[in-house]
Structures are given as C-alpha cells and as structure tokens.
Chains A and B, each alone.
Chain A
Amino acid sequence: MKKFFSTALVRGLFWQLIGTLVGAGLVTGIRMMMGLSATDKFFFTEPAWVLGGFFGVLFFLAGNGSVTDWFKWARGVDTPEHHEEKFSGWEKYLNVSLDHKVIGVQYTVTALLLICLGGLFALIFRTELAQSQLQFLKVDMQLFGQNGPELYNTLMSLHGMVMIVSILLGIAGIINYVVPLLLGAQDMAFPRLNAFSYWIAVPAAVLLVMSLIFGGFGTGWTGYPPLSSRAPVGVQMFFLGVFTAGWSSILGALNVIVTVVRMRSKGMVAMRMPIFVWASVATSIIALTATQLIGLSFQLVMFQRLFGMGFFDPAKGGNPVLFQHLFWFYSHPAVYVFVLPGLGVISELLPVFARKPLFGYRWVAMSSLGIALVGFLVWAHHMFTSGMNEYLRVPFMYSTLLVAVPTGVKFFSWVATIWKGKLTYPTPMLFVLGGLVSFLLGGLTGPPNATVSVDLHLHDTYFIVGHFHDTIFGGFLFPFFGALYYWFPKATGRRMNEFWGKVHFWLMTPSFFILTLGMMQVGLLGMRRRIVDYDPALGFDSTHLVLTIVGYLIGLSVLIFVINFFHSIKNGEKAEGNVWNSRSPEWQVPSPMPTHNYDQPFEVVGEPYDYGLEGSQYVKFAEPAKSNTKHK
C-alpha cells in the first residue's frame, strides 16, 4: 500500500489537487483585493476554478516527474537516453517510464478504464430511456447542483467526450506498443515526449469527470454556444479537459510521424511498411494539425465566458456558426483519427488469419492517406441545418460522398483477401470480422446522412446516433479488442482465455447490432437525439426497452473482457512463440518482448503480407534469430 501511494500516478493526483487549490486561491485573492465577490455557487468563482484547473494540470506534470529530464536539459544537465527501469511488476505501470511498451500498456489500460466509465454513464441514461416519462432522473431530484433531466444531459454529454478521449488513448496505446516493433526501432523517436503525452491525459480525464461535479453541462459533447456560454461552471472543466487531452493527442501524433520517418529498419521502404504503420501515419497527420482547432474553438468560448469577448455572441456582432466551423474542422476529421488505426488493424490481421496475401497492398496503403486528406474537406456536412450559407451545402455533400471511395477500396481489399482464404477463427479474427461487418453498416448509413435533402430530416435524430455507433464500434472498438487479443501474448507471454473471449464476442456482437439498428429505427420514427424523454404516442417504448437490455448485455460482455484481461496477465496459458504464425518481425522473437526490443537488427527483404507464398520472406535478422532460446 505504501508503494502505491508513492507512485507517480498518486503523486501526480495529489499535486493536481494542490495546484487546483493554489490556482483557485490565487484568483480569489486577486478578486478580493479588487473588491469582487470571492465565492460562488461552487465555492470558488468561475475564473478561480478555470485557473485552478489549469494549474492542476501543470502541478500534476511537475509533481509526478514526467518533465524532470526536460528541466535538467534546460539547466544544461545531460541525461542518459534511457534510464534504468527502477520498478518491476505493476509498479512499472504506475510510474513514469520511457519505454514505449510500458507507455503503450499505460495508455491501453487507461483507455479501458475510461471505456468502462463512459459505458457506465451510458447505462445510467439508457436505463432512464427504457420507458417514456421520467423514471428516476426526476425533476425534483438534486445531485451536484443539477436536477434529473439536467443530470441526464451531463451524463449524455460526458458519455460522448469520455468515450472520445478513451478512443484517443486506446489508439495511442496500440500505436505506441506496436509501431516501433513493426519498424524495428528501439523506441519512439522522443521517449520523454511520449511519456509526457501519456501523463498529460491523466489530469485531462480528471478534469472531465470534475465537470460532472461542478454543475455539469447540458451541451452535448459538441459544446455549441450560445448554450455552452450559459452552462454552469462544469462546462469550463469540460473545455479544459478536452484542451489538455488534445495536447496528448497532438504530441503523441507528432512522435508517431517522426518515428515512422526516421526510425525504420534497413530495407523498409515506404511500400514495404505494414498497413498499420500507414494507418498510424494517416491518423497522426490529422491529429497533429486539426486538433488545434477544437482546442481553439473551446478556448474562444472559455474566453467569451471569462472576459465577455463576443466571438459567438450575436449581440456583440459575433457569429455562433463560426464556432461550428472551427469545431467541426477538427471534429469531423477526428472520426477518421478514431477509425483509421482500427481499419489498419483489420488489414493487418486479416491476412494472418486468412493465410493469404493482402489484396492490393498499395491501394490500401494509399486509401488511409486518401481518407485522411479528403477528411479535411468535409466538415460542414454536420452543419446543413445550422443556417450557414446555402451554397456551401452541395460542395460539402460531394466531398463527403467522396470519402466512400477510399473506404470502398479498403472493403474491396478485405473481401478479396478473405476470398478463398484458409480462414481460422480464433478470437482476434472474430473481432476483425465483427469490426468489418459493423463498419460496413456504419459506412452504408453514411451517404444518406451526407445527402443534403435526406440529412435535413435525419439531422439530430437517433438515426445519426445509430450510424456513428456503427462506425465507431466497427472502426475502433471491435478492432481494438481484436488487437488486444492478438498482441496480448506479445506483451505478457500469455494468452487471454479463448473461451471467454468467444463469449465476449458472441454476447457483444448480436447485442450491438440490435442496439444500432434499433437506434436507427426509432430515429426514423422520430426519436430525437440528446433528450431525456419521448412521447409514448410515438409507439417505440418497447424498442427502447430492448435497446436498454442489449445495452446492458454489451456492458456485461465488456466486463467479461476486463476480467479476462486482468486474470490472464498472471494466469493465462503460456504463449511465448509465434502464436498466430505471423510474418511480422515482432513475432519472430520471444514473448514478452525484451526491454530493448530486438537484440539483432533486422532487414526487410520482401513484401509484408505474402502469406502462403512459398519461399517468401519479410524480414531477415542480422544473425539467425535465436527464437525461444534467449528468454529467461
């Protein structure tokens, strides 16, 4: 227990608390000197909490030691490239480590925790929706300064943003763990920046949850003004949390691009890189650049609230639609940030389990970049009903429909890869196929929304909710689980339980399809998004009840996964060799991966996915790889 309290995580959280109080106290002191009110509904005033939240993040990072080396450099003190690992076992993961594999695991576990938290929020409001009328989130209840429907709005908004942050951390986890291994690099290009990117996400998550306590915010994850400029203090914590998590994403993406450009092993020319690496680069290009715009848009609302600046206030000549442009400039490409790595995982794993070369490697590699670049030009399709200039509608409709082309390339490749393959169905493959089908559903329901005439009717209905849950489950969650089952033996030297893995899959998948198809159905019948109650006369009470039940089943399946995950770390079946019979370099060395990755550098001598072609070889190690003999 004493060890636990001295970890970087706990120290960071402690300093975040101190920092919050210092920041809030500072502003309160200044306010008192200026003769302004010192306290408000949530004890401190809004400006005080904002500076407090900001100081909290800085104190967290300074207090937990993730910036120590940089301060040494600033004083002209040199540090070794890597520090000796001071901790072992679980302690390693709660302390600052520079090893990309440790950071990858930290990201992944944090993402899992946030998925559970976001899922919990969803279950709470899904329960309320099971029937028309208000069940337990009633108007006369009070919690954290909110009544029932207001709490519903906060939970619904937080579900969105917590899930988004969990996705950003989840893809960062997989990318961090896998990309350097695929490239044959010892680590990411900037190990300290890598650790920093992870640790800054922790106070961000704390800030997001704090928003629930400070009166919440009923704006949805989009935080549109004028609603967000009038919401309680909670919305400021939400803005700060997103802003901070954005930096994690930006800096992580920067690191990935530099790593891929500079750290490839010999012979790995661009057209021999694994597809997952291509996907990581594509996703990082978006995250690196566009993320700044959501940060800016939220910052502008923050300043509008704090200083009365009139950016989005029509009375002061401001323009609320401008917010939507700035916001969606990130938030649409962001969905490609979420799905591209997952689609990369599908392309990466399919050939392994189909024992066939990936069909059309070059096209698939380019399609990731294609989606990323076209993704920058489609943002206003979220705004067809916003009152923006009407002449913008049709160009944005066509650019949006264009996204279907590179996505179609991917599907064509996947189907052609499966065609006449010798398929086996271990758990990772099941999730890959599940992801494929559900992304297909999400993909096919996309173009109708992109079409202006249809979207004017579908906008803000549950049809949209069904559509994007399909894309996000298909593009992120299914492949994420698949990737975890697949690379778990690499990280731990043990396999996750196959039986419970299959239970997880067969419980989650049908439930999920019922959920999203049901959402689309009620959406078409007139169910609106983001609303606590609906008219029983619309006649879909029973559908909502089914949706709630399958929602719980999905929750149960994820619970099974989490238990399986943590149980298998110690008790799983031993798997130290090339369990999936993969050609990829990381499987040619023993598991768990040695601390400094490859003892011998490898050279790329062939194509990555030539499964089943006799005599073909992807990587050649400097000396014959001493597989399974070197591990201790």
Chain B
Amino acid sequence: MTHTQDKSSALGQGVLIFIYLTVLTALEYFIAVTFQAVTILIVVAVIKAALVMYYYMHIYKLNETSDDDDVHSYAYKTGTNRLGLWLFLLSDTFVFAGLMATRINLLGFTRPPLNQMLGLAVTAVLLLSSFFMNRGETSMAHGDTKGFLNNVVVTFVLGLGFLIGVVFVEWRLAAHEGLVASFGDTVHGPMGGVFYIMTGMHAFHVLTGLIFLFVVWNNARKNIYSAEKHWGVEAAAVYWHFVDLVWIFFYPALYLIGKLIA
C-alpha cells in the first residue's frame, strides 16, 4: 500500500481532526444546554460523522485501485476485504438506524433522566480512544509496530473505560433514578426499554471492538504486520471508529435532544 503522506504530517492531521471533533462536541453540548435547536444538533452530528468517516476511517480508500491486478495478491485482497468490511458496516448501520427510529417514535421530544456530566465524560473518552486508534494505525502504516502497540493499549484502556462508564456506572445511576429496563408509562413512553436497548446494543459493539483490538495487539506483538501488510490493523481501526461514529448520533439522541418530564 502506498501512503502519500509522511508520518509526522499524518499524525498531525489526526491531531487537527481530533481538535475539530472536540470543539464540535463542546458546541453540541453548549447548544443543548442553552437552547434546544435540534436542527443544529443534527447538522453538527453529521459534520462530526463526516470528519470521522473521511479522516479516521479513510472511506475514500474504497475508491483506490490497486496496482496489482492479480486477485491473489495481498493488495488486491485488501481492496476486496475493505469493500466487505464497509458493506458489513452498512448493514450494521441499519440496526442502529432502526433503534434511532424506535427512539424517535416512542420518546419523541422527551429524554431519559441521565447524568449529563457522565454522558459528556464517556463521550470524550470514546472520542479520545478514536484519536489514539488513528495514531496507532498511522504508526503501523509507516511500519512502526512499537508505536502501534503503545497506541492500541491506550485505545483499549479508554474503550474499556467507556464500557465501564456506561454499563457499570451509567446503568447503575439510571436504575437508581428509577429508570429500570421495565420502566415506562403513557407519559414518558417506554423510556427504560429504549435507553437500555440503545446503550446495550452499542456497548455490545464496543465489547466486540475491544476483543478485535486485543486480537490485533496480540498479533502485532508477534510482528506479523508490516507497513505493506496490515489489513487486520486497518479493519480493527475502521471498526473501532464505526463504534465511535454510532455514538456521535446516539449521544445527542439520548442526552441532548428533547425535554425532561418530571
């Protein structure tokens, strides 16, 4: 695989995108707490998603034609695998889109009583993990296995932090507030069900992403990846960013949009 950028400028680009995403997330939060402008929130989320898809997930690589026409070559196969992975993500998107439609239909302009600070914290943690994943992949694309290993460990720890933050802290706090899975009435709608299925489905994807990260980390320790041959690393990275991508939409849908009803 050819890379057009040298390593430091690629890493620099990652930092820049991370700053954009952070600013946009802060803006999102600010808009939500000051005035409820759903349209702006949607626009911000779409911009964030576009940034992640282009700069972190490198969606444009789908268009790359490999120099090697032999279907058995690593380069050609990587192109094939990439298309397969993206189609899988497209398919997966329909699950999350279905959940989003469920949330809009059932809860409308209300939202569950959740801890705003915790929501912002886990969002920041997941965003930061995406940033380190990008660093890791960039390192590997330039043949720096050690850099990859270090970054992927940070990504893993942050991802685990997100998972614990949602499943063991947020879920417990929510249940304490009375938002148990079976909670729902004609005023609030089936709020418990919607909250747990959305965060649960996402958390399940985070968990599989963590397993994936562990697998590539373990393989990288055995030195099986190189600058030219590291499809496994790329796949893990794209999948990890996808999990982040979903949260870009789920975070405002659960925490920011709509009113709280007592």
A-side residues, CB < 8 A to B, are: 73-76, 81, 185-186, 189-190, 193, 250, 254-255, 257-258, 261-263, 288-293, 295-297, 300, 303-304, 307-311, 313-319, 322, 325-326, 329
Contacts and interface: CB of A to CB of B under 8 A. Distances in A.
A326 B101 contact: yes
A412 to B, nearest CB: 32
A326 B88 CA distance: 20
A318 B88 CA distance: 30
A189 B80 contact: yes
Given A76-B222, A316-B185, A322-B102, A254 B87 contact: yes
A103 B120 CA distance: 49
Given A254-B91, A292-B95, A311 B194 contact: yes
23 contacts: A75-B219, A76-B219, A189-B80, A250-B91, A254-B84, A258-B83, A262-B71, A289-B90, A289-B94, A290-B94, A292-B95, A293-B94, A295-B95, A309-B192, A309-B197, A310-B190, A310-B192, A313-B184, A315-B186, A316-B193, A318-B184, A325-B105, A326-B102
B224 A303 contact: no
Contacts of B219: 74-76
A318 B190 contact: yes
A292 B91 CA distance: 7
Interface string B87-115: 11011101100110110011000000000
Contacts of A311: 102, 106, 190, 193-194, 197
Nearest to B71: A263
A492 B106 CA distance: 55
A304 B196 CA distance: 12
Contacts, number: 126
A310 B193 contact: yes
A316 B184 contact: yes
Which bracket fits the contact residues of B? Answer: 35 or more
B208 interface: no
B161 interface: no
Given A258-B80, A309-B192, A318 B90 contact: no
A190 B88 CA distance: 13
A190 B196 CA distance: 35
Interface string B142-186: 000000000000000000000000000000000000000111111
B91 A76 contact: no
A81 B84 contact: no
Given A289-B90, A292-B98, A317-B185, A309 B83 contact: no
B7 interface: no
Contacts of A309: 181-182, 184, 190, 192-193, 196-197
A300 B184 contact: no
Contacts of B197: 300, 303, 309, 311
A315 B181 CA distance: 15
Contacts of B84: 189-190, 193, 254-255, 258
Contact of B98 (A75, A186, A296, A303): A296
Contact of B91 (A288, A300, A307): A288
Contact of A296 (B83, B99, B191): B99
A316 B80 contact: no
Contacts of A315: 185-186
Interface centre among B183, B188, B190, B219 (most CB of A within 10 A): B190
A511 B79 CA distance: 51
Contacts of A304: 193
B149 to A, nearest CB: 14
A292 B97 CA distance: 10
Given A74-B215, A76-B218, A261-B83, A317 B184 contact: yes
Nearest to B98: A296
Contact of B95 (A74, A81, A262, A296): A296
Contacts of B187: 317
Nearest to B215: A74
A317 B188 contact: yes
B189 interface: yes
B180 to A, nearest CB: 9
Contacts of B191: 317
Contacts of A250: 91
A186 B228 CA distance: 25
B186 A288 contact: no
Contacts of A74: 215, 219
A317 B186 contact: yes
Nearest to B212: A74
B106 A318 contact: yes
Nearest to B94: A292
Given A76-B224, A309-B181, A317-B189, 15 more contacts: A73-B232, A76-B222, A186-B71, A262-B80, A262-B83, A288-B87, A288-B91, A292-B91, A296-B99, A309-B197, A310-B193, A311-B193, A316-B182, A316-B183, A317-B187
B105 A319 contact: yes
A303 to B, nearest CB: 6
A81 B74 CA distance: 12
Interchain residue pairs A-B with the least CB separation, the first 4: A309-B193, A316-B184, A308-B182, A310-B190
Contacts of A292: 91-92, 94-95, 98
A316 B192 CA distance: 10
A309 B232 CA distance: 38
A295 B90 CA distance: 15
Interface centre among B72, B102, B183 (most CB of A within 10 A): B102
B250 to A, nearest CB: 15
Given A292-B98, A317-B106, A319-B106, A257 B87 contact: yes
A310 B182 contact: yes
Nearest to B193: A309
A307 B102 contact: no
B186 A293 contact: no
Contact of A254 (B71, B88, B188, B190): B88
A297 B101 CA distance: 12
Given A76-B218, A76-B222, A288 B102 contact: no
A509 to B, nearest CB: 38
B94 A307 contact: no
B224 A317 contact: no
Contacts of A314: 186
Contacts of B87: 254, 257-258, 288
A35 B71 CA distance: 59
B182 A307 contact: yes
B193 to A, nearest CB: 3
A289 B89 CA distance: 10
A263 B79 CA distance: 11
B17 to A, nearest CB: 28
A322 B185 CA distance: 16
Contacts of B92: 292
